[in-house]
Chain A
Amino acid sequence: MVVSLRFVPALIGLCLLTGCALTPKQSLFEALGGHDGIAALVDTAVEHSVTDPRFGELFANTDQDRLRTQLADQICELSGGPCVYQGLSMAEAHSGMQITPAEFNWFVEHTRLAMTERGYPVGTQNRLLALLAPMRSEVLGDPDQVFEAEPEPEDPLGME
């Protein structure tokens, strides 16, 4: 069998062009199953994250019920549902927690896994992840804060 792949540059160009052509959307809020679907999804994702030995301790001092309500409100609003998120901004809510890129990704993965477990199709999963991804810069810790939070002791060697 001989198949020429000289068409590949055209294919790559076509892929870029189709980026402009989007299909009409069912509201993501509906696709997620409305209030009940979102609440169940948030429950599963938070449950997985809190019990994850890699970063579960981050949630140790968090009011879990409030966290779930706030997350559900946010997803409801972002997905076009009839909610208005009235909590803190993402930067305020995570201020001082020094969340690392890895920890953010683990939460994303638990959210993805929760959506798979609850039977959402890949397209619906991607729509929600695309809405959550822009929060990353606000959620992550500012690396400069590490130095402010841990000032050098004045007498580190105990010479006095």
Chain B
Amino acid sequence: MPVSSRTTAVCVLAAAAINPAFAGGGGLLATSGLQSIEGSAGGGLTTWAMIAGHGEEGERAMGAGVARAITDGFALTSASAYASWNNRFEVSLARQTLELDALVEMGATDRTDVSLDLIGFKYRLGGDPVYADYGQFAVGALYKHNRDADLVRLAGAERSSGVDAYLAWSKLWLDGPWHRNWLLNVTLRATQAHQLGLIGFEDDYRLSAEAAVGVFLNPHWVVGAEYRNKPDRLSNAAEQDWADVYLAFFPNKRWALTLGYLDLGSIGGVDDQHGWYAAVQYGR
């Protein structure tokens, strides 16, 4: 946690300091998505086709955020930052730190935490979540590096770094059921990772799918749910699909706050990991 919170403070300060060079704000409120725990624009657990920030064509955007998830046995901190251009291209950086309380208690490891670095690229193929009938499509890739090669080996994973590649689709319907605006995201992902990469990677890829829905109670408040399908490839540490329900608040185009309730299934051999999620982000 200390490392991550320092990273975040630096990211937020950097965004605030550099912002005069970054104009922007022509995108509709909340069409930025949120910053996912992997750094790319998305929800909390899933990645969406939206390009981070409220920039439109001819504009740039950047921002930073921090998310914290606490379950019965673990705690995850994700600090992330992004920059985006022309509502077309997004680059993101993130560091995740997973605190291994449950495993330490069991005497399974003497390490208190494990960290993962993520570099993400996303490109909008075309469309628009609001104005195009067919929504918005994007492709992206995440390069992930686990900073604890020993723990990865101990867990039985083949590699300490890996790549995710994904195709994402987002659509925001104006005036849907109950005269509310509705959001749907679907992403197909090829991944080498065990638990996002927090316990390492394999040589070959598995396909997984994720989806998120949201309903705008009004322009500033969104309530929704996410589901993320995950591979299950480590014999000594079963991995399960992830799900959450969330409430996000966009007071303006700079800040966003998210609260969620998570069901992360089994992690590192410790079953039934449920808990809370909170995130704050700032961008311009």
Residues of A participating in the B interface, judged by any CB pair closer than 8 Å: 1-6, 8-9, 11-12, 15-16, 18-19, 21-23, 100-103, 105-106, 108-109, 112, 122-124, 126-127, 129-130, 133, 136-137
Complex-state Cα separation, A21 to B178, whole angstroms: 9
**Given A3-B261, A137-B131, CB of A8 within 8 Å of CB of B177:** no
Contact B274 A3 (CB under 8 A): yes
> CB-CB < 8 A to A106: which residues of B?
26
User: Which residues of chain B from 49 to 93 have a CB within 8 Å of any chain A CB?
Assistant: 56-59, 87
Contact residue among A2, A5, A19 (Cβ-Cβ distance under 8 Å from B182): A19
Interface membership of chain B positions 1-34, coded 1 if the CB is closer than 8 angstroms to chain A and 0 otherwise: 0000000000000000000000001111100000
Contact B181 A105 (CB under 8 A): no
Contact B227 A12 (CB under 8 A): yes
B164 within 8 A of A: no
> CB-CB < 8 A to A22: which residues of B?
177
- A-B contacts, 7 of them at CB < 8 A, read A5-B243, A6-B243, A8-B244, A12-B212, A15-B184, A123-B178, A123-B180
B130 within 8 A of A: yes
> CB-CB < 8 A to A130: which residues of B?
174-175
Residue of A nearest to B274 (CB): A2
> Nearest Cβ in chain B — how far from A29, in angstroms?
15
Complex-state Cα separation, A129 to B225, whole angstroms: 25
Contact residue among B27, B178, B212 (Cβ-Cβ distance under 8 Å from A105): B27
Complex-state Cα separation, A89 to B177, whole angstroms: 30
**Given A100-B56, A100-B57, CB of A105 within 8 Å of CB of B174:** no
Complex-state Cα separation, A68 to B218, whole angstroms: 27
Contact residue among B25, B174, B226, B272 (Cβ-Cβ distance under 8 Å from A129): B174
Contact B58 A102 (CB under 8 A): yes
**Given A19-B176, A19-B182, CB of A5 within 8 Å of CB of B28:** no
Residue of B nearest to A135 (CB): B131
**Given A130-B174, A130-B175, CB of A122 within 8 Å of CB of B261:** no
> CB-CB < 8 A to B225: which residues of A?
5, 8, 11-12
> CB-CB < 8 A to B179: which residues of A?
122-124, 126-127
Complex-state Cα separation, A77 to B244, whole angstroms: 43
B279 within 8 A of A: no
**What 3 A-B pairs come out closest when comparing CB atoms?**
A102-B26, A123-B179, A5-B263
Complex-state Cα separation, A14 to B164, whole angstroms: 29
Contact B26 A8 (CB under 8 A): no
Complex-state Cα separation, A12 to B173, whole angstroms: 15
Contact residue among A2, A12, A100 (Cβ-Cβ distance under 8 Å from B58): A100
Complex-state Cα separation, A103 to B181, whole angstroms: 21
Contact B174 A133 (CB under 8 A): yes
Most buried by B among A6, A23, A122, A136: A122
Complex-state Cα separation, A102 to B131, whole angstroms: 13
